[in-house]
A and B are shown apart, each in its own frame.
Chain A
Amino acid sequence: MSEVSSRELAGSISSVAEVVPILRTSGLTKRFGGLVAVSDVSLDLRVGEIHVVIGPNGAGKSTLTNLLSGDLPPTSGTVHFEGRDIAGCSADRVSRLGIGRSYQKTNIFLPFTVFENCRLAAQSRTQHAFRLFHRAPRFRDINDKAEKAMAAAGLSHRADRIAQTLSHGEQRQLEIAMCMATQPRVLLLDEPLAGMGPHESQRMVELIKGLAANHAIMLIEHDMDAVFALAHRLTVMVNGEVLESGAPEDVRSSPAVQLAYLGGEGLLHD
């Protein structure tokens, strides 16, 4: 089954997609020497669902993202993506399988134009790469994907700008656009709102909301307004462990979470 048709399928019978997780981790653990950064984490991601992970600094949220994206190999545990274990796969392999990620710290090609950033991202999905004697801009299919990704992220009007000259918020949008250009089915978004003004944040929240319809999204975020505006499912991590996971209202009222945050950074007190 081709990538496109399976995605359409997932969208059209979303009731089924809601029950069958596209990505599932169990017992996922990462140790750095004596430090256990991620400990026995089990969570599910489903198409159509935004799974938000929150927790104080050092809770292991970014490490968890790195384990799912292949940037780091887990010490133990499994990551099942569409039924196969991808734990320990390299980052480029994971990306080609259909898991895209954005970075907490903006990670783009600064000297390139916005279009070239997206074009490169789209190029990664094709087999043209080793056709050495065709000029890159001639590949219409790649260009179309890049244009679509820019449009989806609201950056079309910036296509010819050098990425370095964009505002911080626009660079964050580009980060998402590049991720979209690789046409992933699972999105791992690591603090996409970090450092954004209220106006830019609002636009990003709308963007992520729109993406949720046909993607499985794991979102790491500190902005509590955004968290509760977006979350279908909420997981709280503390010291590498899952403290609580479930519907956002339930998690919010959980005594354990209240205690952890009261003792910690008081994030849930608006």
Chain B
Amino acid sequence: MRSFRFVDYLPFLLFAALALFPLVESTFYTQLLTKILIMAIFAMSLDLLIGYTGLVSFGHAAYFGLAGYALALMGPKYEAVSLWWSLPAAMGICAAFALVTGILILRTRGIYFIMVTLAFAQMLYFVFHDTKLGGGSDGIYIYEKPLMKLGDAVLIDLENLNHFFWLVLVLILLVYLFLRRILQSPFGKALVGIKVNEHRMRALGFPVFRYQLASFTLSGALAGMAGYLAAVQYGFVNPEILSWHQSGAVMMMVILGGMGTLYGPVIGAFAFVLLREFLSNDAWTGIFAKHWQLAMGVFIVLVALYLPRGLAGVLQRFGKKPLEEADDE
């Protein structure tokens, strides 16, 4: 029944190729790639909402940033925190926050949903910006990066760039496989049904709110994973990690890459971060480097006009051709 599709196996090929990357490339590119993969996890978490549940969240930075602050505030100041519990704890905090805010946010729809998600993210931004809780607008340094120890042996030291890269790489694969599996389950099918026709799902007897809340919470937790990793990479957190620019950037990655494909947002993260690096580097773009957003804007407009299914749509055209021809007979 299932015909071979190139795109099904692409993630594994990419994974294998990327695992070798730090061995052959400089630390600069390893760090850049790590950053991209972290953003890709963030973008996939948002795709679960936008692409599969039909909920356009414009405040996803709230969960991303909250996990960063959770890491900075949870650990002892001059001692490395254990990765074993701090990552699950940060994700748990984000899940709890998503659950509570979700109960309120999910009472709204459409444009109001977008505004309310943004409002919650902005509230969190100002909580950290205007209070001493998280060091105000200066933020907090994370002096010691997390360690994963077994007994006395250090398994993973995130101070080590290669360790960190491989951890992120394994996590993104796990997140991808986890989401792909879930989306093929009855739960995932119901989410897509809600995206396509929420009213009909309700009439068929689905408790729509519960499904949406589950999706929202899961998405918040995964955004938290990305936020935790981002905080580790930067070595500090400040309110900018919670800002609406961050929410906008991740949404652009999802849209650029192609909503509702899961791998699309990964492609989107690559395209967005690489393009931003390229355009804002004055060695390459000279005096235009300062105005990189202008060129980025043009690129996004072009993609929106000519690739309505995002960059993933181009891949799909290759991958699906044999399947569609078989259907036409």
Contact = CB atoms under 8 A, between A and B. Distances in A.
B205 A124 contact: yes
Interface in B204-224: 204-208, 211, 214
Interface of A: 69, 71, 90-93, 95-96, 101, 103, 107-112, 116, 119-121, 123-126, 128-136, 139, 142, 160, 178, 182
Interface stretch (B13-21, B66-74, B77-85, B188-196): B188-196
Name the prevailing secondary structure of the B interface residues. helix
Nearest to B185: A132
Contacts of A129: 186-187, 190, 206, 211
A131 B196 contact: no
B245 interface: no
Given A69-B203, A129-B187, 17 more contacts: A91-B203, A92-B204, A92-B207, A92-B208, A93-B205, A95-B203, A96-B205, A120-B204, A124-B201, A130-B214, A131-B186, A132-B181, A132-B188, A133-B181, A135-B185, A136-B186, A139-B186
A120 B191 CA distance: 11
Interface of B: 181-182, 184-190, 193, 196-197, 199-208, 211, 214, 327
B205 A120 contact: no
Nearest 4 CB-CB pairs, A to B? Answer: A95-B205, A124-B205, A96-B205, A124-B204
Contact of B189 (A91, A92, A123, A133): A123
A29 B53 CA distance: 35
Contacts of A93: 205
Given A120-B193, A133-B181, A71 B187 contact: no
B203 A112 contact: no
Nearest to B204: A124
B204 A95 contact: yes
B205 A136 contact: no
B202 A136 contact: no
Contacts of A69: 203
